[in-house]
Amino acid sequence: MKTKQHGAVVGLIAAGALLLTACGSDNNTGPGGSTSGATASGVAVECGGKTKLNAEGSSAQKNAIDTFIQAYKAKCSGADLAYNPSGSGAGVKNFNAGQVDFGGSDSALSKDKGEVEAAAKRCATNPAWHLPLVFGPVAIGYKLDGVKDLVLDGDVTAKIFNGTVKKWNDPAIKALNSGATLPDKDIKVVYRSDESGTTDNFQKYLKIASKGSWTQGDGKQFKGGVGEGKEKSAGVAQATGSVDGAITYVELSFAQDNQLSLAKIDAGQGPVELTNETVGKAIDGAKIKGEGNDLVLDLDSIYGTTAAGSYPLLLATYEIVCSKGYDADTAKAVKAFLTVAATDGQAGLADAGYAPLPKAFQDKLLTAIKAIA
């Protein structure tokens, strides 16, 4: 995800503005106080408690957290949060060690690694909950002269990124793009050379959506065995934008910054363009495999969706919090921050390249946040 705001996502901005509108600081109180004020969407926020929260973790959500912080400070006078984008591993480690009030992670706590048990110990023998608060669409960005309207599916995308499909006029691509003039040109794959949550999610998508064509596995290192590696999202987007015939996977705002064309994805119900609405449909259709208010996502339900109008290629990040076990001041502030983040804070997300939460999913999060004790 990007660490600076991007203003060109006009369609997403409009959709985000329709979903939620930022509000001012009505009914605010000072540190330690409380309020019966509400967010722009009418959700009650009780400010107060700990005046400065600390959180750490996923760099993918850094720009979203910055947006949330501004909304939190506007709603709760004197309140603040410091976020260190040190990476998911450090976020989990330091949350479990009690050094931060909540952690940000691209993936759920691992029982096999002892993270679930360590989190429960940190939370005074209470389970930690996963709150998927930030979703970012991942684009399949490409540069191909004369081709601005390209359709791909999971199978063909997997074959491109593992080197099975090598030419832009391959019959497999032609079959998805009837009537298009595709050049007899080599496909030049560009991938992340550094460890990346985006790579991990992209490969998980390929594993599910390709229905057997992607056998290389997942993980934060690209395993396709083909193409040219570049560091960071900016690196892959710039490299793709500079070479005709290139293709990559990258967060939306970077693709737009480099004027990449964006492939539509056909999951069996026709081509789907990447928009706020189509991403929202995918989020709405996501299944929860966690219990109760522990909202661990079943990523297969997103990546493998065949629902009409759903764009399935997303990156989700969690806020990992104690269900119980905070002191009273910390619990109050954590709940206030998360409530504002899930409501007023959503208004600025589209401008930063993220997807605002659809209403039904927002309601699930608010129910969980309210239950934190």
| Total Cβ atoms within 10 A of residue 259 | 11
Question: Is 198 a known ligand-binding residue?
Answer: yes
Question: Is 60 a known ligand-binding residue?
Answer: yes
229: CB partners within 8 A, 6+ apart:
190, 191, 192, 193, 222
Report CA torsion sign: 223, 229, 230, 236. Answer: negative
Phi-psi label, residue 225: left if phi above 0, alpha if psi -120 to 50, beta otherwise: left
What is the separation of C-alpha 230 from the centre of its chain, rounded to a whole number of angstroms? 21
Question: Is 77 a known ligand-binding residue?
Answer: no
As a whole number of angstroms, the distance between CA 184 and CA 152 comes to 17
The Cα angle at residue 254 between residues 74 and 12, in degrees rounded to 5: 55
Question: Is 106 a known ligand-binding residue?
Answer: yes
For residue 61 the two structure tokens come to 């959500």
Question: Is 197 a known ligand-binding residue?
Answer: yes
| Residue 346 DSSP label | G
As a whole number of angstroms, the distance between CA 136 and CA 251 comes to 7
Q: Contact 274/350 with Cβ under 8 angstroms?
A: no
For residue 207 the two structure tokens come to 């594993």
Residue 128, amino acid: A
Q: Contact 315/251 with Cβ under 8 angstroms?
A: yes
C-alpha distance from residue 247 to each of 166, 180, 221, 254 (Å): 12, 18, 18, 13
Question: Is 196 a known ligand-binding residue?
Answer: yes
| Residue 242 DSSP label | T
Of 278, 261, 340, 356, give the one whose Cα is nearest residue 28.
340
Annotated binding site: 58-60, 88, 106, 196-198
Which amino acids are annotated as binding site for phosphate, given as ranges? 58-60, 88, 106, 196-198
